[in-house]
Chain A
Amino acid sequence: MVRFDPVLAEIRFGSGLSPVIAPPASAAQMLAHLQGPDHAADRFAVETFTQYRERVIRVQAAWKVRQTERGSEAATLARKSVNLEKKAARTERLRWLGQQILRRTWTEDALRERLVGFWADHFTAQGKAGMLRWSATPYVEESIRPHVTGRFEDLLVAATTGPLMLHYLDQYRSYGPNSRRAAQQGGADGLNENLAREVLELHTLGVGAPYDQDDVRALALLFTGLSYQPEKGFVFRKPLAEPGVHEVLGVSYGGAKARLQDIRAALRDLAAHPATARHIAQKLAVHFVADAPPPPLVAHLEARFIQTGGDLMQVTAALLEHPAAWEPDLRNVKPPFDYLSSIARALAVPQTRFDALKEGDMARMLRQPLQEMGQPWEAPPGPDGWPEADGHWITPQGLAARLRWAMTWPAMMVPDLPDPRAFVTLALGDRAPEPVRFAAMAAENRAEGVGLILASPAFQRR
């Protein structure tokens, strides 16, 4: 067992040091926080997808008025109400971005936010059209966050049946060649393999695992019927479902009648597959420790995943107990959202800081800088989520954007900028490198001193 390092725990497994919140005293305390209530979610609320659906329902109703009463005054009002709904959702999304930064700023349970971030990225989904464009936070809040300390199979089922995922990977209207829908469509091909392929390649087994195109197609046939409705959320639409037996990785699922429970059974089997354990172990070690993590750490996580049937609480405990996770050298670079959040935490940005801000203010302060740093908010490049490689983020362009933010925005985040000479220890602990201490002291003014500390590799790595 390694000696617990509270400062490293905050930096590597949390969102960095805070001047007002004490680091955890032990790994046991970190795990106890995870098992306790989710205070941060209560304190800085965002909408769940179920709540967000009300917005979608309202827009759908207004659209119906536009369609059926074309040219009428009611239709004009409906069009206006659609625009207002869209604007409101867009604005809310930025407010939720602020809430998520505040969660990381003020939580004592910092590892929970990091786990939510990791799993939200593992199960990346985004809205491609209409009102769903602004619903990624509600998806994570409802389908991911409650499960990050539960069983992987439950998380997998929740994410796979999340309406946003079904939309993002085109599952919701995929239908089998022998489904009732196909009969109505004159036998047209309506099968979409996107979700099935990504579940195998990204969410469970991993790209190098032993599955082939036949498995992808069989799983896609089995998945038919997974869909959603604004009024109900997830639904299983029998008319889309392909009847019959589908063999995925040598196991037969289904029968004469298509049933949701067969899909669930396949997902649970995929969750329990040894390749899944290896894939998840590798990703966790990369995310929390280093781009090329020590193999013994990966093996340790993998073994715990298998032994506990994918109990994520136990897998997280395995991460915290392994010596390779506590190497004092900081390696991984914080991605832009994590970077800005850790700045907010180091500055103890007030809980009310974002309250009175308009959409444009939030865009200038957060949304646009995130884009300049290479991480446009809730718009990852694909279903594989954000890259982990440090070199992806620390490009000339990305680093310039970070430097600019660190030099200019902190002064607008807090009423008074701290003295750089004290801040260097607050932000980096006793481990602050000598050149950073020197720069903090030698800077021309407070803003540059604080900015140089925040731009130092010692702050940008974890």
Chain B
Amino acid sequence: MPRTDPKPQSTPLNRRSFLIRTGLIGCSVAASPLMTPISFAAAPGENRLVVIILRGAMDGLDVVQPYGDPALAGLRRTLLAGEAAGAIDLDGFFALHPALSGLMPLWQAGELGFAHAVSTPYRDKRSHFDGQDLLEAGTPGLGQVRDGWLNRMLQHLPGAEGRTAYALGHEDMLLLRGAAAVSNWTPEARLRLSPQAERLAGLVMHDDPLFNAALEEALLLSAGEEDVPDMAAAPMMGAAMSGRAEPMGGHLRLAGFAAEQLRGHSRIAAFSLGGWDTHQAQAAGLTRALGRLSETILALRDGLGPVWGQTAVLALTEYGRTARENGTRGTDHGTAGAMLMAGGAVRGGRVTVGAGPNAWPGLAESDLYQRRDLMPVRDVRAHAAWAMRGLFGLERAALEQAVFPGLDMGADPGLLR
């Protein structure tokens, strides 16, 4: 049988070219077949929230080093802290790990801050799996809900629709799972079909609304990205330990894609970064992980451009690590850790610890949780709740009952400008 090509027709390709030319890619809600057009008046405000889950348990004591605490030096034999070890003094008590030095301009501009000695309610068993589930579920205990706190927040956000929040990356993030519609995408999902294959794929899916809509959306999202080497075929390297995070090198594209969406109609993006489980040779491993985090935040800032000023980035981890260094120049699973906040909406330039200046729990053995971990002084969920209250105007009751069931938000830590 002779091979015949279908007649030229209005193809997704043509429409994509049109959208690219007219600059509508990334912000063309009406063009998206999955979305119903929305009223712009109802859009959930102008503020942006990016939540980064740091999978594997980041060592808060090495990232934001309490070098003013006399007990620190005795706990860490090779993991040196403070200015003498190349860290950057923040406020005379805390110093920043040198691998985050690229973020110092943000600190100086008041666009980078930390909350220290924070934790979820998770205690004692110190499993990554359970700790991450609890962090994302946002509940006091495991197994109480099957959705994530960011999705429950969306359910209380007037004007939210399917494009408002993006879960980025290959994983099905518990954080954004739930009844509210969210978008999922990873830059690795980019479709590169020959023009003929693209036309024919449109043809075979045309009569099935579910497939047809997903294909058109995939082609639209793929068209918005630059041509970069195919990372999807490369082996997953970074994901080995904590299981569910992104492959190395993907972080910049995640950040770039997130920024692109957030400049348009999206307001929330969430993704995760791995590589924090530093049981051995922490100096090298943590430097790598922090380098990626730093690049991610700078890529967000650059990509967000004019809306960086309306953005808060929260980087959270499932728990901290042991105060004491272990026998393999690393640290083991602990309890309290640190949270990073960045963005023009953040009131940065300071390290927040609990309710006041004397709230640092201390590192003397008797001050430690179970004589081994930094003692938590504040529920990390309270910080997230206050950030969402400030960004999206949610009622305290909704935050304490629905988003984070059973949470007492306590006093306003003043995280935002």
Contact = CB atoms under 8 A, between A and B. Distances in A.
A457 B3 contact: no
Given A363-B236, A384-B146, A443-B196, A374 B201 contact: no
Contacts of B146: 381-382, 384
A399 B214 CA distance: 7
Contacts of B236: 363, 368
Interface residues of A, number: 54
Nearest to A127: B129
B242 interface: no
A460 B211 contact: yes
Interface stretch (A14-22, A339-347, A387-395): A387-395
Contact of A439 (B34, B143, B204): B204
A443 B205 CA distance: 15
Interface in B198-226: 200-201, 203-208, 210-211, 214-215, 217-218, 221-222
B177 interface: yes
B211 A407 contact: no
Contacts of A368: 232, 235-236
Nearest to A374: B172
A401 B206 contact: no
A213 B205 CA distance: 47
B189 interface: yes
Interface size class of B (residues with CB under 8 A): 35 or more
Given A129-B127, A360-B235, A379-B244, A452 B204 contact: yes
Contacts of A338: none
Given A363-B236, A376-B171, A456 B204 contact: yes
Contacts of A379: 243-244
B193 interface: yes
Nearest to B206: A435
A436 B205 CA distance: 9
A435 B184 CA distance: 29
Contacts of A374: 170, 172, 184
B261 to A, nearest CB: 13
A347 B26 CA distance: 38
Given A395-B184, A397-B185, A439-B203, A444 B197 contact: yes
B329 interface: no
Nearest to A380: B172
A225 interface: no
B211 A396 contact: no
Contact of B6 (A371, A381, A438, A458): A438
A436 B204 contact: yes
Given A194-B142, A363-B236, A396-B217, A455 B201 contact: yes
B227 interface: no
A128 B196 contact: no
Contact of B189 (A198, A401, A436, A438): A401
Interface in A212-252: none
Given A372-B189, A394-B210, A436-B204, A451 B197 contact: yes
A434 B185 CA distance: 31
Interface string B27-58: 00000001000000000000000000000000
B9 interface: no
Interface of A is mostly: helix
A398 interface: yes
A452 B189 contact: no
A128 B200 contact: no
Contacts of B214: 394-396, 398-399
B236 to A, nearest CB: 6
Given A397-B218, A442-B4, A364 B235 contact: yes
B352 interface: no
A333 B133 CA distance: 28
B365 interface: no
B127 A128 contact: yes
Contacts of A197: 143
B215 A399 contact: yes
Contacts of A65: none
Contacts of A382: 133, 146, 174
Given A376-B171, A396-B185, A396-B218, A441 B211 contact: no
Contact of B196 (A381, A383, A444, A455): A444
Contacts of B3: 441-442
B130 interface: yes
B215 A397 contact: no
Given A360-B235, A396-B214, 16 more contacts: A364-B233, A372-B188, A381-B174, A382-B174, A384-B146, A391-B210, A394-B214, A397-B189, A397-B218, A399-B218, A400-B191, A400-B218, A403-B191, A438-B200, A444-B194, A448-B197
21 contacts: A363-B235, A368-B232, A371-B171, A372-B186, A376-B171, A384-B146, A394-B211, A395-B214, A396-B215, A397-B185, A397-B189, A399-B211, A400-B191, A439-B200, A442-B5, A443-B197, A443-B200, A455-B204, A456-B205, A457-B204, A457-B205
Interface of A: 128-129, 169-170, 193-194, 197-198, 333, 360, 363-364, 368, 371-372, 374, 376, 379, 381-384, 390-391, 394-401, 403-404, 407, 421, 433, 435-436, 438-439, 441-444, 448, 451-452, 455-458, 460-461
Q: Across chains A and B, which 10 residue pairs bring their CB atoms closest together, nearest first?
A: A396-B218, A457-B208, A396-B217, A439-B200, A128-B129, A456-B204, A400-B218, A399-B214, A397-B189, A400-B189
